[in-house]
């Protein structure tokens, strides 16, 4: 059987191809947060809203997923329908891409695989909700997201609201340092806590506007491969109530443990538990922070296009 396109040769939508050819700004969006991070059917409206937020920031959105073995950068509405509707869609990190390509499988892409496919397509700015990272009790389970090592070798700007607060945030920041991933706060040296504005950890550096973020990325690209993480906190008046946050996260982690969930099932299980236990409060905040990140990513992509490295 002839293999489908190898992962290094993604298929671009015509809008994304035209924008890249003309040097116009493009922002990559991951599909795992749609397929596995947000519940159906709310995820479908969120997908459109996130793309609209990228446009509001001044860039063309490029949602990324693998369909029938072929990596796509920029999805048509019917393709986004597929990603959002299929309850059995695979979750694909970098290591899963060759299997999907060779066997003609479909799946949503995580931060790690989205960053790789974006870079291969020439898209250098990427928006998500929260990065994967070091799980609590990772010293026993060895559960550390492949997002971290992927970002150490992939040259993209990733706009996020920190790392998911279900994780061990200080340990994740230590690993990002070890892996030489550049991390800057957006307008703050307080590292955001995904659903909450403050994770309790601090950063060495901050940038004040999209132009500074673009300049940091341009300098990083001249220096060495690897990502620039732009950590964009929710404003305090939009965050989840921190007391509710701490309670529901403890419950969700205990439930995951009791259910014996392991591996790549952990993050979707815990996010789903949180959405239910908070009666939708974590879901609303999750969507809100992704929209803010998408808009900022659009503005950073526009700044990069205005003064290319
Ligand atoms: N951010 C969100 N929701 C998500 C994720 C991130 O707001 O669902 C996904 C991303 O795709 C990230 C993945 O790459 O969770 C990490 O999964 P794991 O912990 O299994 O590496
Ligand atoms: Mn994991």
- Of ligand 1's atoms, which has the minimum distance to the CA of residue 108? 11
Active site residue 177: no
Percentage of the chain with pLDDT > 70?
97
Is 148:132 a contact under the CB 8 Å cutoff? Answer: yes
Q: Determine which residue's CA is closest to atom 2 belonging to ligand 1.
A: 129
Average pLDDT over residues 103-131: 98
Dist. CA 131 → ligand 1 center (Å): 6
Average pLDDT over residues 279-305: 97
CA dihedral (267, 136, 143, 93) in degrees, to 10, reads 30
The predicted pLDDT at position 3 comes to 46
Question: What pairs with residue 63 in β-bridges?
Answer: 29
The predicted pLDDT at position 7 comes to 47
Average pLDDT over residues 210-236: 97
The answer to whether the peptide bond before residue 57 is cis (omega within 30 degrees of 0) is: no
Name residue, tokens 């002839």: 2
Average pLDDT over the chain, rounded to an integer = 95
Give the length of the chain. 309
Report how far residue 30's alpha carbon sits from residue 170's, in angstroms, rounded to the nearest whole number: 25
| Residue 82 CB partners (closer than 8 Å, separation 6+) | 67, 89, 106
194: closest CA among 158, 232, 164? 164
Assign 3-class secondary structure to 129-192.
Answer: CCECCEECCHHHHCCECCHHHHHHHCCCEEEECEECCCECHHHHHHHHHHCCCEEEEECCCECC
User: Poorest-confidence range of 96-105, 220-229, 242-251?
Assistant: 242-251
Question: What pairs with residue 64 in β-bridges?
Answer: 73
The predicted pLDDT at position 308 comes to 65
- Of ligand 1's atoms, which has the minimum distance to the CA of residue 36? 8
Is 29:63 a contact under the CB 8 Å cutoff? Answer: yes
Segment 162-206, tens digit of pLDDT: 998 899 999 999 999 999 999 999 999 999 999 999 999 999 999
In CATH, the number for domain 11-237+291-306 is 3.40.1790.10
The predicted pLDDT at position 135 comes to 94
- The token duo for 66 is 């693998």
The predicted pLDDT at position 165 comes to 87
The predicted pLDDT at position 309 comes to 59
Q: Is the pLDDT of residue 4 over 70?
A: no
Q: How would DSSP label each residue in 296-308?
A: HHHHHHHHHHHS-
The predicted pLDDT at position 2 comes to 44
DSSP 89: -
CA dihedral (34, 40, 44, 45) in degrees, to 10, reads -110
Q: Are strands 60-67 and 70-73 parallel, antiparallel or unpaired?
A: antiparallel
What residue ranges line ligand 1, CB within 6 angstroms? 30, 32-33, 36-37, 110-111, 128-130, 132, 145-147, 264, 267, 271, 286
The predicted pLDDT at position 183 comes to 98
Average pLDDT over residues 111-121: 98
Average pLDDT over residues 25-51: 97
- Of ligand 1's atoms, which has the minimum distance to the CA of residue 286? 7
Average pLDDT over residues 258-266: 92
| Residue 305 CB partners (closer than 8 Å, separation 6+) | 23, 24, 25, 59
Domain positions in the chain: 11-237+291-306
């Amino acid at each position: 059987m002839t293999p489908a396109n190898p992962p290094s040769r993604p298929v671009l939508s015509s809008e994304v191809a035209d924008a890249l050819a003309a040097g116009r700004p493009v922002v990559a969006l991951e599909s795992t947060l749609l397929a596995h991070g947000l519940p159906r059917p709310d995820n479908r409206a969120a997908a459109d809203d996130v793309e609209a937020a990228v446009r509001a920031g001044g860039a063309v959105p490029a949602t990324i997923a693998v369909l029938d073995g072929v990596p796509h950068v920029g999805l048509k509405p019917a393709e986004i329908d597929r990603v959002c509707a299929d309850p059995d869609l695979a979750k694909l990190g970098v290591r899963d891409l060759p299997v999907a390509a060779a066997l003609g499988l479909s799946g949503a892409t995580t931060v790690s695989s989205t960053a790789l496919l974006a870079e291969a397509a020439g898209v250098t700015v990427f928006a998500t909700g929260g990065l994967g990272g070091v799980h609590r009790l990772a010293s026993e389970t060895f559960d550390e997201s492949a997002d971290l090592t992927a970002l150490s070798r992939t040259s993209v700007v990733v706009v996020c609201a920190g790392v998911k607060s279900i994780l061990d945030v200080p340990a994740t920041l230590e690993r990002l340092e070890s892996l030489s991933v550049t991390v800057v706060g957006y307008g703050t040296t307080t590292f955001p806590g995904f659903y909450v504005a403050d994770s309790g950890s601090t950063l060495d550096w901050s940038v004040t506007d999209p132009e500074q973020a673009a300049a940091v990325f341009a300098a990083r690209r001249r220096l060495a491969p690897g990502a620039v993480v732009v950590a964009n906190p929710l404003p305090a008046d939009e965050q989840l109530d921190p007391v509710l946050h701490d309670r529901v996260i403890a419950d969700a982690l205990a439930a995951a443990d009791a259910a014996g969930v392991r591996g790549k099932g952990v993050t979707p299980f815990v996010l789903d538990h949180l959405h239910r236990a908070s009666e939708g409060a974590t879901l609303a905040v999750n969507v809100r922070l992704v929209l803010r990140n998408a808009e900022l990513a659009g503005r950073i992509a526009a700044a990069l296009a205005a003064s290319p490295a």
